[in-house]
Amino acid sequence: MPTSEKPPSAPVQELVEGVAAGRRAAVSRAITLVESTAPKHRAQARELLTHLPAGDAVRVGISGVPGVGKSTFIEALGTRLTSQGHKVGVLAVDPSSVRTGGSVLGDKTRMSRLAVDPNAFIRPSPSAGTLGGVARATVQAMAVLEAAGYDVILVETVGVGQSEVTVAGMVDTFLFLTIARTGDQLQGIKKGILEISDVIAVNKADPGDSDRQREARGAARELSGALRLVRGMESWTPPVVTASGLNDDGVDGVWEQVVAHRDHLGEAGLAEKRARQQLDFTWALVRDELEQRLRHSPAVRAIRETLSAEVLAGEMPATVAADRLLEAFDTAD
């Protein structure tokens, strides 16, 4: 990131130094700061991100159908990577936490081995109010982890639907995990997932279980055929491999395909992809900031309750209420 001529404030400078030194407490505090929606913290977060040293981690998004064993697979992959000398960060995007509050320690309890690995850092999902807010926090948390020396970042999407598209828009490679379902392997896998996936792995192909392995190979063949229909003549056809996260079997093969996809992009392709992501993220930040300003506007707050009551009572159409709120925001000093 470009360095500002203005020196950072003392608290931010302390965080910058701590993150650059790889101190876990400083990394945690920095991520908490960039996750915050408080106006004061958002200003400090921008200051922090401006002064952090740039990093260049391998960014991998991971999603999967319910029951796929995603946490077990991520732990197997992360543990294998740390044993090879990598520093691995695991972040989660969970829009469901907006409604339910999520599970504060869920990611850590489901990845108990990786959670105590000194070369791994697992961050539970933030409750940022909207998917856009969660995405903002996650992208900035990635920057913090990269500055701290983490060279592989795994971004897990816990929710479904739009969250997968959001994660695919912030990583280099999007890995989709699925499982064999006898006779209906493609059931429940939407076309959109096949359009954004770069690598697909059929999990739970457990060694020693011939039935499961046969089903997994069958599912892989079906998915390969579906991908040829969906992706056509694209330069990169997502490979479909089988693995068992529980038994740590085939995990290396999945990672090899992630590396192969990165090699396929090349330096120029990767730079172009990240530049497009940065532009998209710029507009996402603008939308998020405008929403925050709208929520905190005194003029909007002055009429919000009245308008809400009228809309709920059926006395005012939503379109009129929206125009009134925007008018109050635009005319405020």
Domain boundaries, the chain: 1-53, 55-265, 297-331
Cα distance between residue 305 and residue 286, in whole Å: 26
Neighbours of 290 (CB within 10 A): 11
pLDDT for res 58: 96
Cα distance between residue 223 and residue 217, in whole Å: 10
CATH of region 55-265, choose from 3.40.190.10, 1.10.10.10, 3.40.640.10, 3.40.50.300? 3.40.50.300
pLDDT for res 132: 63
The pLDDT of residue 7 is above 60:
yes
pLDDT for res 149: 96
Specify the range with the lowest mean pLDDT, choosing from 11-20, 128-137, 278-287: 128-137
Locate 140 and state its tokens: 């900035």
Confidence bin at 187 (pLDDT 50/70/90) = low
Place of tokens 């939503």: 318
pLDDT for res 174: 96
pLDDT for res 109: 62
Confidence bin at 288 (pLDDT 50/70/90) = confident
Rounded to two decimals, the pTM is 0.85
What percent of the chain has a predicted confidence (pLDDT) above 90?
50
- Contact between 126 and 120 under an 8 Å Cβ cutoff? The reply is no
3-state helix/strand/coil string of 69-120: CHHHHHHHHHHHHHHCCCCEEEEEECCCHHHHCCCCCHHHHHCHHHHCCCCE
Number of residues that make up the chain: 333
Neighbours of 289 (CB within 10 A): 13
What mean pLDDT, rounded, does the chain reach? Answer: 85
Cα distance between residue 198 and residue 219, in whole Å: 17
- Contact between 248 and 80 under an 8 Å Cβ cutoff? The reply is yes
Locate 187 and state its tokens: 């059931």
Mean pLDDT of 141-157: 95
- Contact between 222 and 183 under an 8 Å Cβ cutoff? The reply is no
The pLDDT of residue 265 is above 50:
yes
Which of the pair, 44 or 5, is modelled with greater confidence?
44
3-state helix/strand/coil string of 191-248: HHHHHHCCEEEEECCCCCCHHHHHHHHHHHHHHHHHHHHHHCCCCCCCCEEECECCCC
Specify the range with the lowest mean pLDDT, choosing from 21-35, 47-61, 186-200, 270-284: 186-200
Confidence bin at 333 (pLDDT 50/70/90) = low
pLDDT for res 223: 87
- Reported as a single tens digit per residue, the pLDDT across 94-132 is 665 544 444 444 455 678 899 999 999 998 765 555 566
Mean pLDDT of 58-69: 89
The pLDDT of residue 8 is above 70:
yes
SS3 call for 62: strand
Decide whether 1-53 matches 55-265 in CATH topology. Answer: no
Q: What class has domain 1-53?
A: mainly alpha
Burial of residue 274, with CB atoms counted within 10 A of its CB: 0-12 exposed, 13-18 middle, 19 or more buried: middle
Nearest to 175 by CA among 193, 152, 150, 163: 193
Strand 88-93 vs strand 240-242: parallel, antiparallel, or unpaired?
unpaired
Burial of residue 260, with CB atoms counted within 10 A of its CB: 0-12 exposed, 13-18 middle, 19 or more buried: middle
Cα three-residue angle 39-45-47, rounded to 5 degrees: 110
